[in-house]
């Protein structure tokens, strides 16, 4: 049935299918898993797609089991593709101390240039090129109608990838994104190790820096939700820097502070319906 991917799990879900695959990634130089929700509408024709990027410590499965997104995707008839967050496998180097904020489970959606990371950690190219190509050729999913969204490190990934590739996406959204990785400990560690000391290189993967480079001509609809009871808000996420940078760049963004919500998937679940509705408006 499939040529270059192998189905490893499937469950009927909201009249569609929650599927899991593995494939040999030439970009990441390892075997990767990814998950796909295919709505029932995909039985008849190819469907638009949401590309979800998860955060630190996650695999492709966290969002699938915890966010409750399938019901909304089923209603609107859009697929959801959820990649893993980093290269995986015995040959893939990890944080020396096994820290959760770097290495396995924390690819940061960049193309590493520094050894030993550069052999595998090419998550930016994987998300932008290989994964859409592989999935689009094997499944009834139309990446010409694609939106991107994510949580935390994945929110950083969604914003930066969309800012750099506006033509690929109809819209972008993020939950609790790391807005300025060059200015927080998680980002400084990851970008320093993956990319080296030159902060010019970091700016390519920093939403605030990308907005600061000039006023982007091609603007996408952007929705960001941030809980104000999020323990990481002040030190790691720094939403206000995004708000300021967007204002300076004349880039309209809907950035909402949600009272009382934290960094967990209970927050994502509470608002994922609104995010999918937002994207559906631009995809359908």
Residue carrying the six token digits 């807005």: 179
Strand ranges in the chain using DSSP code E only, listed in sequence order:
6-13, 16-25, 30-38, 47-53, 79-83, 141-151, 171-175, 222-227, 254-258
What is the C-alpha separation between 191 and 108, in angstroms, rounded?
A: 8
When the beta carbons of 186 and 261 are compared against a second copy, the nearer one is: 261
Give the residues lining the site for a second copy (CB under 8 A).
11-15, 18, 65-66, 68, 70-71, 227, 229, 260-262, 264-267, 269-270, 273
Q: Which residue, 65 or 144, is less far from a second copy as judged by CB? A: 65
Which of 60, 230, 275, 279 is labelled catalytic?
230
The dihedral sign for the CA sequence 114, 232, 210, 151: positive
101 carries an active-site annotation: no
Integer-rounded Cα radius of gyration of the chain:
18
For a second copy, which is the closer residue by CB, 64 or 127? 64
Active site residue 151: no
Nearer to a second copy, 50 or 191 (CB): 50
Q: Which is nearer to a second copy, 240 or 270 (CB)?
A: 270
CB of 275 to a second copy, least distance (A): 14
Work out how close the CB of 43 gets to a second copy at its nearest, in angstroms, rounded to a whole number.
12
Cα within 13 Å of Cα(195), Cβ side: 25
Given 25, 54, 86, 152, which residue is catalytic?
A: 152
Residue 169 burial (CB count, 10 A): 23
Whether 11 is a known active-site residue: answer no
* Shortest separation between residue 102's beta carbon and a second copy, angstroms: 26
Catalytic residue selected from 120, 263, 275, 279: 263
Q: How far is the CB of 32 from a second copy (least distance, A)?
A: 22
Burial class of residue 164, CB neighbours in 10 A (0-12, 13-18, 19+): middle
Q: Nearest approach, Cβ of 262 to a second copy (angstroms)?
A: 6
Q: Which is nearer to a second copy, 68 or 192 (by Cβ)? A: 68
- Helix or strand run (H / E) with residue 271: helix 265-283
- Measured from the Cβ of residue 86, the count of other Cβ atoms closer than 10 Å reads 26
Sign, Cα dihedral of 203, 205, 208, 213: positive
- Shortest Cβ 65–a second copy spacing (Å): 5
Beta strands 141-151; 79-83: pairing state: unpaired
Q: Is 260 exposed, middle or buried (0-12, 13-18, 19+ CB in 10 A)?
A: exposed
Please give the positions annotated as active site: 152, 230, 263
């Amino acid at each position: 049935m499939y040529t270059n991917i192998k189905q490893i799990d499937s469950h009927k879900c909201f009249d569609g299918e929650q599927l899991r695959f593995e494939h040999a990634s030439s970009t990441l130089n390892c075997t990767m898993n990814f998950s796909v929700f295919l709505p029932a509408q995909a039985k008849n024709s190819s469907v638009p797609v949401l590309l979800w990027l998860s955060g630190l410590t996650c695999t492709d499965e966290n969002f699938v089991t915890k966010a409750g997104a399938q019901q909304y995707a089923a209603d609107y008839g859009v697929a959801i593709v959820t990649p893993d967050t980093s290269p995986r496998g015995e040959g893939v180097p990890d944080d020396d101390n096994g820290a959760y904020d770097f290495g396995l489970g924390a690819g940061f959606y960049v193309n590493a240039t520094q050894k030993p990371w550069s052999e595998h950690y090419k998550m930016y190219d994987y998300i932008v090129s290989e994964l859409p190509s592989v999935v689009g050729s094997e499944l009834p999913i139309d990446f010409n109608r694609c939106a991107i969204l994510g949580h935390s490190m994945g929110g950083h990934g969604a914003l930066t990838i969309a800012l750099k590739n506006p033509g690929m996406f109809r819209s972008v959204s993020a939950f609790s994104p790391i807005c300025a990785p060059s200015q927080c400990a998680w980002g400084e560690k990851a970008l320093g190790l993956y990319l080296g000391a030159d902060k010019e290189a970091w700016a390519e993967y920093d939403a605030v820096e990308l907005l600061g480079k000039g006023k982007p001509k091609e603007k996408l609809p952007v929705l960001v939700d941030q809980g104000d009871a999020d323990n990481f808000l002040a030190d790691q996420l720094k939403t206000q820097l995004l708000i300021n940078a967007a204002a300076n760049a004349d880039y309209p963004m809907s950035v909402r502070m949600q009272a009382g919500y934290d960094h967990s998937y209970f927050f994502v679940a509470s608002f994922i319906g609104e995010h999918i509705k937002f994207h559906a408006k631009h995809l359908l």
